[in-house]
């Protein structure tokens, strides 16, 4: 009789301990799922970034909905007649729909395109042959509006789609001097992914780590 009672007590204790342990695990999982990770560092692939670095900080204001961000990338496009070096900087703020710093968000930011053009075949007349390229700059800014989605967890994925508003000319005008001859030029811009006369198309995927 005493043996049966002792086994019953042991069984009850095991069941209670199992229920308590299971409850603790569920609480930890629930806490981790609602944990706000305030720093996001990663990379983005797409237009106009091609590939670049990305940083975001989720501020503890308005229920963790405001998140300033900073993106940077650089790339080059070369042809026989022109070499083009780009750097793209974008900064602004994301507004998340929930209080976890992830999920759907809208974004408002400023994009800065800095472009160095190196012309290898300008016509100065008099049968002059260029022994070195002629350099000029072509820079413009955009106002970027985007809609995006970001996953939660320590490793995140991100998707963004939007448009950068700007008036972008089809050509670049500049004055160059070579061989004692100074001449005005108006050259067509090389094709740049996503860029039109009304602005730039924005579409990218990203991934990285959250802390």
* Average confidence score pLDDT of the chain: 83
**Cα–Cα distances in angstroms (integers) from residue 48 to residues 35, 45, 122, 176, 206, in the given order:** 32, 9, 28, 29, 13
Note the pLDDT tens digit of each residue in 101-132.
999 999 999 999 998 988 887 777 766 666 67
Q: Which of 81-90, 113-122, 159-168 has the highest mean pLDDT?
A: 159-168
Model confidence at 81, pLDDT cuts 50, 70, 90, reads confident
Section 172-179 average pLDDT: 81
Q: Is the pTM of this model over 0.75?
A: yes
Section 170-195 average pLDDT: 80
**3-class secondary structure, 169:** coil
Cβ–Cβ under 8 Å, residues 118 and 133: yes
Q: What is the pLDDT of residue 122?
A: 78
Q: What is the pLDDT of residue 176?
A: 83
Q: What is the pLDDT of residue 200?
A: 92
Section 8-29 average pLDDT: 52
């Amino acid at each position: 009789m005493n043996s049966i009672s002792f086994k019953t007590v042991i069984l009850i204790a095991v069941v209670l301990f199992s229920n308590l342990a299971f409850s603790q695990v569920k609480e930890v999982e629930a806490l981790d799922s609602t944990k706000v990770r305030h720093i996001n560092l990663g990379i983005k692939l797409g237009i106009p970034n091609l590939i670049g670095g990305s940083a975001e900080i989720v501020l503890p204001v308005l229920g963790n909905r405001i998140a300033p961000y900073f993106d940077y990338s650089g790339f080059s496009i070369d042809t026989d007649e022109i070499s083009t070096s780009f750097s793209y900087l974008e900064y602004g703020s994301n507004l998340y729909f929930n209080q976890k710093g992830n999920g759907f968000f809208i974004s408002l930011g400023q994009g800065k395109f800095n472009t160095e053009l190196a012309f290898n075949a300008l016509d100065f007349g008099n049968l002059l042959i260029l022994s070195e390229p002629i350099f000029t700059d072509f820079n413009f800014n955009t106002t970027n509006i985007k809609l995006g989605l970001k996953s939660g967890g320590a490793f995140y994925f991100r998707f963004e789609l939007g448009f950068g508003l700007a008036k972008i000319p089809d050509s670049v005008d500049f004055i160059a001097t070579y061989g004692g001859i100074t001449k005005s030029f108006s050259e067509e811009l090389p094709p740049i992914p996503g860029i039109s006369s009304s602005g730039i198309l924005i579409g990218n995927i990203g991934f990285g780590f959250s802390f």
